[in-house]
Amino acid sequence: MFIAIVGTPSSGKRSVLRYLVEKHGFIQLGLEKPSDEMAGAELSSNQLDVPSLDSLALSSSSTPATVNPGPSPIPSPPIFASPSSLLDYTTRNWLTHHVTTDLRTYAEIEPFLKRPSFLLVGVDGPIRTRWEREVARQDKSLTLDTFVSQHDLLLHGPSFPATLPPSALSHHPQTDFRRVMSLASVSICNNFPSLPALYAFLAQLNLLDEERLRPGWDTYFMSPTLGSASRPLETDPFDGV
C-alpha cells in the first residue's frame, strides 16, 4: 500500500505520517524538490486574467516534507528525483507499505490514481486551530487575518480583477489544491486537542483496511442497494383514480 497525504497547512499531515510510520511500520518516501504547499493556489484553468501569486503580499506557510525530529526521530526518507521515479518504485514494491507528503499537485497525483495499491488521504481542520498550530510551530508573527487570506487563496484562488467582464464569470475555475482534495478517498478533520487523541481516531479509522483499495463483494453490491433505498418513493399520479 502507498498512502499519499495532502491537506491544508498545519492540519496535521506530518502527524498522520508519523502515526503510520511508528504504529504500522510504513516507510516514508520523499521527492528531491517537492512542490510548495501554496502551489495549489494556482487556478486549474488559464481562461481568466487573474493576478499572479507573486503579486499578492502573502507569505507562504510551506513546511518541510520530512518530519521534524521528535521523541522518536524518523529516519531520513529515501529521496526520488521526480514523481515518475517515485511511481515506478512504489509500483514495483507495491507489497511494501509506503507513505509520503510530497505529492501535492494534481499533475503529480493523477498518475498514481491508476494504481490499485494507492490511497490518497486528505487532512483538514478548523482555521483557528490550524493558525494556532502554525504560530506555535514556526511563525510567531503570523496574524490570523494573514493566515485566513492564505487559506482563501489556496482554496479559491486569487480574487477576480474589478475590470473583469461579466461574461468571463460564467465559469469559475477550481484551484489545483481544491481538485487534489476532491480526489481524496479518505478525509480527516483534525480538530483533536492532542496527538494521542488523533492517534486514537486513526486507529479506529484503520487506514490499512484493504476494502478502501479493493472493495469486497459485500461492499460492491451493498452500495447500489443503499443508494436505491435512500431515494424517495415516487407517487403514482393515477393512484386512486
- Would you say residue 123 has pLDDT above 70? yes
Between 108 and 230, where is the model more confident? 108
Residue 236 covered by a domain = no
Residue 151 covered by a domain = yes
Residue among 29, 22, 15, 30 nearest 130 (CA):
15
Tell me if the pTM is above 0.75: no
Residue 46's pLDDT is what?
39
Report how many domains make up the chain.
1
Residue 20's pLDDT is what?
97
Residue 238 covered by a domain = no
Residue 212 covered by a domain = yes
pLDDT one-digit tens code per residue, 137-187: 887 899 999 999 999 988 888 776 666 666 655 555 678 899 999 999 999
Range of the domain at 87: 2-164+174-230
Residue 80's pLDDT is what?
94
The CATH number assigned to the domain holding 72 equals: 3.40.50.300
| Calpha distance 192→12 (Å, rounded) | 10
Residue 64 covered by a domain = yes
Arithmetic mean of pLDDT, 110-115: 94
Residue 190 contacts residue 49 (beta carbons within 8 Å): no
